[in-house]
Copies of this chain bind each other. A is one copy, B any other.
Amino acid sequence: MHGLHLTADLRDCRCDPGLLQDAPALVRSCLDAVLASGLRAVDQLFHRFPDGPQGPGGVTATVLLAESHLCLHTWPELSGVTLDVYVCNLGADHGAQARALLARLLALFQAGRVERQELQRGLPAVESEGLCP
């Protein structure tokens, strides 16, 4: 169950502002990026939030992967996007594909500022007492 979780929080995105409210285009871009990165999409879902007093509603999009998942949220009023790429490395190391997927999505949004974080996840298979929550 060892896995790699990459996050990126983007501000000041210089892509077409319409992209951040265009759920079908975002899903297509995500699926293209998944395929180009050598990962395998098994399903996808999006939700567009209603427009509000601050402007157009954002989008949440997720792609379920054979290797785990990709999640994306947009805030058009802030030119902001958050990205999550999580891959389980059980059986094979998908870290390179995860990094390639995140790089493709970062290139799509052309953010002026990006905060990236990285988590190594998962417990080894060996039994160990005394680690209950």
Interface residues of A (CB under 8 A from B): 1, 3, 5, 7, 9-12, 42-45, 47, 49, 60, 62, 64, 66, 68-69, 71, 73, 75, 78, 80, 82, 84, 86, 88, 90, 106, 111-117, 119, 121-123, 125, 127-128, 131-133
28 A-B pairs (CB sep. < 8 Å): A1-B11, A1-B80, A1-B82, A5-B7, A7-B121, A9-B123, A42-B47, A42-B60, A45-B62, A47-B64, A60-B64, A60-B68, A62-B64, A62-B71, A69-B71, A71-B86, A78-B125, A80-B123, A82-B88, A82-B121, A82-B122, A84-B86, A113-B131, A113-B132, A114-B133, A115-B121, A115-B122, A115-B123
